[in-house]
Amino acid sequence: MTEPLLDIKNLRIRFRSDEGTVKPVNGVSFQVNEGETVAVVGESGCGKSLTSLSILGLVPSPGEVFEGEIRLQGKDLTKLKKNQMRKLRGNEISMIFQEPMTSLNPVFTIGNQMTEVIKLHQQLDKKESINKVVEMLDLVGIPEPERVVRQFPHQLSGGMRQRVMIAMALSCNPKLLIADEPTTALDVTIQAQILNLMKKLKDELNTGVILITHDLGVVAEVADRVVVMYGGEVVEEAHVNEIFDNPVHPYTRGLLSSVPKMTGSVEELGAIQGSVPTPSQMPKGCKFHPRCPIATDLCKDEHPNLEETLPNHFKRCFHMEGGSIYEQHKRETTT
Amino acid sequence: MNANTQVEQNMDVKPHHKEQSRVSKVFKQLWKSKTGTVGLVIVLCVILMAVFADIIAPYDHTETNVSARLLPPFWMEGGSFNYILGTDNLGRDVLSRIIIGSKVSLLVGIASVIVAGAIGLFLGLVSGYYGKWIDQVIMRLVDSFLAIPNILFMLIILAVIGPSLTSIIIVLGVTTWVIYARMVRSETLSIKERDYVKSARAIGASDYRIIKKYILPNVVSSFIVIATLNVATTIILESSLSFLGLGIQSPDVSWGLMLSDGRDYLATSWWVATFPGLAITITVLGIIFLGDWLRDMLDPKTKS
Amino acid sequence: MRYFLSSILKVIPVLLMISFIVFFLVRLTGDPVSLMLPETATDQQREDLRQSLGLNDPIYIQYFTYMADVIQGDFGESFRYNQPAIDIVLERLPASFTLAISSMIIATIIAVPAGIYSAIKRNTFADLIITGSSVLGKAMPNFWLGIMLILILAVQFSIFPVSGSGTIAHLVLPSITLGTAIAAEMTRLIRSSMLEVLGSEYIRTARSKGLRETIVVNKHALRNALIPVVTIMALQTATLIGGTLITETVFSWPGMGQLLVQAVNARDMAVVQAATFIIAILVILSNLTADLTYRFLDPRIKYED
């Protein structure tokens, strides 16, 4: 097997303050191959956004990566100097953020903000970079790109702004694209357009994509592989079909059973009781046990490891060998 | 079931718990905000100094001593412990004058804030609550006051009516009400539109009652913060007026007046102008620290 | 353009109101006749003068006569200088402008880097020093700072002249005095505005593009952070002019501020009125300019009209 595009190994992030240290990301590992879309799912506060920011070296202070590796084509990003990391950002790795309304600078034109990144990473002069911007805007399906170049963000709709963000992120042909909830703020028809666009561009450019989302509808549509996170760790990882057809971890099952039919947001979980523990109040043992329907004493004391139970299917749970205990438990409680 | 009992327990425990923790929370917060503590200590010291000024001051502030003119502070050559901070051109004790001067500075600061607050509260309420033409008139009045520097306004009025303690307090009040009026007006405007106020009005509550019950409680914390910080502003304004010769007049004494006197002796006797200035700076610093802390405590939304 | 006209229209009632306030203040000063005639004048002479000055007319007629004069720029004669008051005031304007501009330059040179630096180095020792000095600058009475500067730099070390005007050296101390006072407020504003902007999402986007931190801060953040700073600083023009009143007096700088203080002390009301009007107009003009600058800095405004 060839080397993966991105290989995250045992990533840990901590925030130190007067009140103590919290570790919102605590031992995350997963890989992304070229041209592959990996969805990272979980409720708010599971550490998915922080993980993605750490790939860009943009963990907000006072947070820091204190253990683990983030390898991009074999090169460990956590070891890079600030300046070296900066040269990768927007060039080899780029990112699309959740809020198209506030992610563009309100006082500069679209052209200004886009040429900035192109001039920085590719040796193009002003005229060439403007041509490149127009070309990119055209590629993401923005009508009249020559006019949009001279416009300010507030003159565009949310969907158009997100297209601009995508165009900007892709303008230097990144090897890895991180999309953090790229469609959450948009309405449903625009969502579908943006997702299709991303899918198309990924295939054309053979970009690896990390899709951060809590929207399982989006996952089913575009992901190849799914990483489920809970409490700062990966609790299950498998191919997208495998996750939907044969979920193993009780948390994944909870997520799936709470998907409303149309839009599929899991921000409010009906099927899982309780709420996500904050990093400072992380329970001992299995982090999910207070909310888990099948937790035993073992789960309260011991912390399970991430194990490959089926080929290419990893889970972090003591029980659930192929789902049998869960089924058994379910039968017992319903009768 | 489980969730229910938990809620009940919470309800049961909360009020009592809250009372207790509120007091301790204030103290904890005060302790945590070191500048807040410093501010409170400074302000308390100045208040004590002003209240007991006549007892603490070693000399009367008007007592002159021709043989002890322009003596330096005790640590310099020629200075003595008789006059710890030295004497001025008439042989008056600088320390005593600073202690007694604190009375005027503090009195003027606090009294004029009360005058300004009362005017601002009234005009702000009227303007925000009744709106229409009266709002227009009051707001243009506010604009006019904003277009003329406070200090100029005060100079003109004092030149007309003559400077005295009372006239200075009134003039300071009459020229600094704008900030309160603007704050009260904008708060009133937003509260007036809330549903519970609208429904109170619909069932026939009087204007007086609505203002008292809904509007005043909502402006009180911003009001206290602004008023505290404005004590600092008025102390500086008073000293500026006295410095320009239209403030406190001899034989009364204020820090600004002392500065003005000392200015003529800078070349030979630096202490006459330096210490009253320090007194103003430290006092104002204390008030600013206290006011900022109050703002964090009472009114996080006005944090600038 | 329509916006410009409407703001001019809003200015008129303000100027009217100011004329009102000034008119009544001056009428309260007491009998102008007794100031103008020697004490030996007879009652008949006084009465004649009252009549010729229109002081026996009803008060509203007096106001209209007064307004008619004011609109033509006639504020009466200064009895101290025996010249039209407006001429005396305008003569002093350039000196005040020089002081105001050099103070603003000093303030900007101090406040912009200090405000930015303390925002990006938030909660460090440097931040503590910068915010501490800006609070201290607010707490110190401006004229006291001026006196202390005279004491140290002029009296002790004789680097700069104590007071007066004529050379660049004369300008230094008053400009520092006024400039640091403005800088104290400006630094605080820039710091808090920068902190807010630096936490925004477009700054994260700018960083994710791989821009240098200096570009992120000085282009993306600063431009946004300055928008509120400009507005708030412009609203402080009146306070700034109030500051020149005192600073000019401390340093005997021959500007409008010093003239005003002297005129008030001498009850030279014609000069006081003229200067007050000029100041009010300057303040209003500066607020208009700030509005225009605001529109220039923030592209969102133009399209919302």
Q: Which of C228, C234, C232 is nearest to C301 (CA)?
A: C228
Closest residue of chain C to B160, computed from CA coordinates: C29
Residue B300 confidence class, pLDDT cut points 50, 70, 90: low
What subunits touch chain A, counting only 3 or more CB pairs under 8 A? C
Contacts of A152 in chain C (CB under 8 A): 299-300
Say whether residue C21 is in contact with chain B using an 8 A CB cutoff: yes
Three-state secondary structure call for residue C266: coil
Q: How far apart are CA A238 and CA A231, in angstroms?
A: 18
Same domain, C68 and C106: no
Residues of A with CB under 8 A from a CB of C: 56, 58, 86-91, 94-95, 97, 99, 102-108, 116-117, 120-121, 152, 154-155, 165, 168
Distance from CA of C152 to the nearest CA of B (A): 10
Average pLDDT, chain A: 82
pLDDT at A310 over 60: yes
Same domain, C239 and C286: yes
Q: Which of B174, B184, B180, B191 is nearest to B125 (CA)?
A: B184
B20: tokens are 């207790």
pLDDT at C280: 87
Q: Which of A164, A143, A172 is nearest to A96 (CA)?
A: A164
Looking at the partner chain, which of A88, A102, A103 has a beta carbon nearest the beta carbon of C210? A88
Say whether residue B288 is in contact with chain C using an 8 A CB cutoff: yes
Same domain, C51 and C166: no
Q: How many CB pairs under 8 A join B and C?
A: 131
The position carrying tokens 């919302």 is C304
Distance from CA of B177 to the nearest CA of C (A): 15
Same domain, C156 and C70: no
pLDDT at B5: 34
Residues 6+ apart with CB under 8 A from B16: none
Same domain, C141 and C215: yes
Same domain, C38 and C119: no
Distance from CA of C26 to the nearest CA of A (A): 49
* Mean pLDDT lowest among A220-224, A326-330, B283-287: A326-330
pLDDT at C38: 67
Same domain, C58 and C98: no
pLDDT at A127: 87
Contacts of B239 in chain C (CB under 8 A): 141, 144
Count the neighbouring beta carbons within 10 Å of the beta carbon of residue C303: 9
Mean pLDDT computed over B234-248: 90
- Residue C16: inside a domain: no
Q: How far apart are CA A231 and CA A281, in angstroms?
A: 10
Contacts of C210 in chain A (CB under 8 A): 86-91, 117, 120-121
C73: left (phi over 0), alpha (psi -120 to 50) or beta: left
pLDDT at B170: 92
Distance from CA of C209 to the nearest CA of A (A): 4
Say whether residue C209 is in contact with chain A using an 8 A CB cutoff: yes
**Cross-chain Cβ contact C143/B243 below 8 Å:** yes
Looking at the partner chain, which of C210, C227, C303 has a beta carbon nearest the beta carbon of A89? C210
Looking at the partner chain, which of B141, B155, B259 has a beta carbon nearest the beta carbon of C144? B259
Closest residue of chain B to C14, computed from CA coordinates: B144
Mean pLDDT computed over A289-314: 82
Distance from CA of B266 to the nearest CA of C (A): 6
Looking at the partner chain, which of C17, C142, C151 has a beta carbon nearest the beta carbon of B270? C151
Q: Which amino acid is at B223?
A: F
**Cross-chain Cβ contact C276/B284 below 8 Å:** no
pLDDT at B79 over 50: yes
For A25-82, how does the pLDDT look when each residue is reduced to its tens digit (9 = 90+)? 888 888 899 889 999 998 887 888 889 889 998 888 788 888 888 998 888 888 888 8
Looking at per-residue pLDDT, the higher value among A262 and C25 belongs to: C25
Say whether residue C272 is in contact with chain B using an 8 A CB cutoff: yes
Looking at the partner chain, which of C150, C241, C264 has a beta carbon nearest the beta carbon of B159? C264
Number of domains in chain C: 2
For B147-186, how does the pLDDT look when each residue is reduced to its tens digit (9 = 90+)? 888 888 888 888 888 888 999 999 999 989 999 999 999 8
Say whether residue B134 is in contact with chain C using an 8 A CB cutoff: no
Residues 6+ apart with CB under 8 A from C237: C282, C283, C286, C287
C236: tokens are 């402080």
pLDDT at B17 over 50: no
Q: Is the peptide bond before B163 cis (omega within 30 degrees of 0)?
A: no
Say whether residue C143 is in contact with chain B using an 8 A CB cutoff: yes
Instruction: Decide if A198 contacts A170 (C-beta within 8 A).
Output: no
Residues 6+ apart with CB under 8 A from A327: none
Say whether residue C135 is in contact with chain B using an 8 A CB cutoff: yes
Say whether residue B205 is in contact with chain C using an 8 A CB cutoff: no
**Domain residue spans in chain A?**
6-87+217-260+271-334
Rg for chain C (alpha carbons), in Å? 24
**Cross-chain Cβ contact C18/B281 below 8 Å:** no
- Residue C305: inside a domain: no
Count the neighbouring beta carbons within 10 Å of the beta carbon of residue C39: 5
pLDDT at B14 over 70: no
Same domain, C209 and C255: yes
- Residue B11: inside a domain: no
Residue C116's domain is classified under what CATH number?
A: 1.10.3720.10
Residue B22 confidence class, pLDDT cut points 50, 70, 90: low
* Torsion of the alpha carbons at B216, B219, B223 and B225, rounded to the nearest 10: 140
Closest residue of chain C to B176, computed from CA coordinates: C239
Say whether residue B267 is in contact with chain C using an 8 A CB cutoff: yes
Closest residue of chain A to C212, computed from CA coordinates: A86
pTM of the model: 0.83
Distance from CA of B17 to the nearest CA of C (A): 33
**Cross-chain Cβ contact A94/C204 below 8 Å:** no
Residue B6 confidence class, pLDDT cut points 50, 70, 90: very low
| Residue-range definition of the domain harbouring residue B273 | 50-57+67-302
Looking at the partner chain, which of C207, C208, C297 has a beta carbon nearest the beta carbon of A107? C297
- Residue B264: inside a domain: yes
* Class of residue A174 by CB neighbours under 10 A (exposed 0-12, middle 13-18, buried 19+): buried
Q: How far apart are CA C151 and CA C154, in angstroms?
A: 6
For B105-119, how does the pLDDT look when each residue is reduced to its tens digit (9 = 90+)? 999 999 999 999 999
Distance from CA of A170 to the nearest CA of C (A): 11
- Residue B21: inside a domain: no
What subunits touch chain B, counting only 3 or more CB pairs under 8 A? C
pLDDT at B10 over 70: no
Distances (CA, A) of A79 to A73, A84, B191, C204: 14, 10, 55, 21
Three-state secondary structure call for residue C81: coil
pLDDT at A133: 92
- Residue B218: inside a domain: yes
The position carrying tokens 């990003």 is A77
* Mutual angle of helices C237-250 and C168-198, in 10-degree steps: 150
Closest residue of chain B to C284, computed from CA coordinates: B147
**Cross-chain Cβ contact B140/C13 below 8 Å:** yes
Q: Which secondary structure element, helix H or strand E, spans residue C77, and what is its range?
A: strand C77-78
Q: Across the strands, what pairs with A40?
A: A212, A227
Q: Which of B273, B74, B89, B249 is nearest to B162 (CA)?
A: B249
A334: tokens are 């319903």
For A186-244, how does the pLDDT look when each residue is reduced to its tens digit (9 = 90+)? 777 878 888 888 888 788 888 899 999 888 888 888 889 999 998 888 888 889 888 88
Q: Considering chain B, what percentage of its residues have pLDDT values greater than 90?
A: 30
Residue B235's domain is classified under what CATH number?
A: 1.10.3720.10
C260: tokens are 């005003």
pLDDT at C183: 93
Q: Which of C299, C120, C203, C224 is nearest to A102 (CA)?
A: C203
Distance of CA C27 to the CA centre of its chain: 26
| Residue-range definition of the domain harbouring residue C58 | 31-74
Looking at the partner chain, which of A94, A104, A154 has a beta carbon nearest the beta carbon of C208? A94
Say whether residue C43 is in contact with chain A using an 8 A CB cutoff: no
Say whether residue B243 is in contact with chain C using an 8 A CB cutoff: yes
- Residue B249: inside a domain: yes
Same domain, C221 and C262: yes
Q: How far apart are CA B172 and CA B152, in angstroms?
A: 11
Strands A176-180 and A208-213: parallel
pLDDT at B26 over 80: no
**Cross-chain Cβ contact C141/B280 below 8 Å:** yes
Same domain, C165 and C239: yes
Residues of chain C with pLDDT under 70: 1-4, 28-39, 302-305
pLDDT at C90: 92
- Residue C11: inside a domain: no
Say whether residue C211 is in contact with chain A using an 8 A CB cutoff: yes
* Mean pLDDT lowest among B31-40, B195-204, C46-55, C233-242: C46-55
Say whether residue C264 is in contact with chain B using an 8 A CB cutoff: yes
**Cross-chain Cβ contact B259/C17 below 8 Å:** no
* Mean pLDDT lowest among A156-170, A320-334, B13-27, C188-202: A320-334
CATH assignment of A6-87+217-260+271-334?
3.40.50.300
Residue B4 confidence class, pLDDT cut points 50, 70, 90: very low
**Cross-chain Cβ contact C299/A91 below 8 Å:** no
Number of domains in chain B: 1
**Cross-chain Cβ contact C238/B146 below 8 Å:** yes
Say whether residue C123 is in contact with chain A using an 8 A CB cutoff: no
Q: What is the DSSP string of C158-193?
A: --S-SS--SSHHHHHHHHHHHHHHHHHHHHHHHHHH
- SS3 labels along chain B: CHHHHHHHHHHHHHHHHHHHHHHHHHHHHHHHCHHHHHHHHHHHHHHHHHHCHHHHCCCCCCCCCHHHCCCCCCCCCCCECCECCCECCCCCEHHHHHHHHHHHHHHHHHHHHHHHHHHHHHHHHHHHHHCHHHHHHHHHHHHHHHHCCHHHHHHHHHHHHCCCHHHHHHHHHHHCCHHHHHHHHHHHHHHHCCHHHHHHHHCCCCHHHHHHHHHHHHHHHHHHHHHHHHHHHHHHHHHHHHHCCCCCCCCCCCHHHHHHHHHCCCCCCCHHHHHHHHHHHHHHHHHHHHHHHHHHHHCHHHCC
- SS3 labels along chain A: CCCCCEEEEEEEEEEEECCEEEEEEEEEEEEECCCCEEEEECCCCCCHHHHHHHHCCCCCCCEEEEEEEEEECCEEHHHCCHHHHHHHECCCEEEECCCCCCCCCCCCCHHHHHHHHHHHHCCCCHHHHHHHHHHHHHHCCCCCHHHHCCCCHHHCCHHHHHHHHHHHHHCCCCCEEEEECCCCCCCHHHHHHHHHHHHHHHHHHCCEEEEEECEHHHHHHHCCEEEEEECCEEEEEEEHHHHHHCCCCHHHHHHHHCCCCCCCECCCCCCCCCCCCCHHHCCCCCCCHHHCCCCCHHHHHCCCCCEEEECCEEECCCCCCCCHHHHHHHHHHHC
Contacts of B285 in chain C (CB under 8 A): 135-136, 139
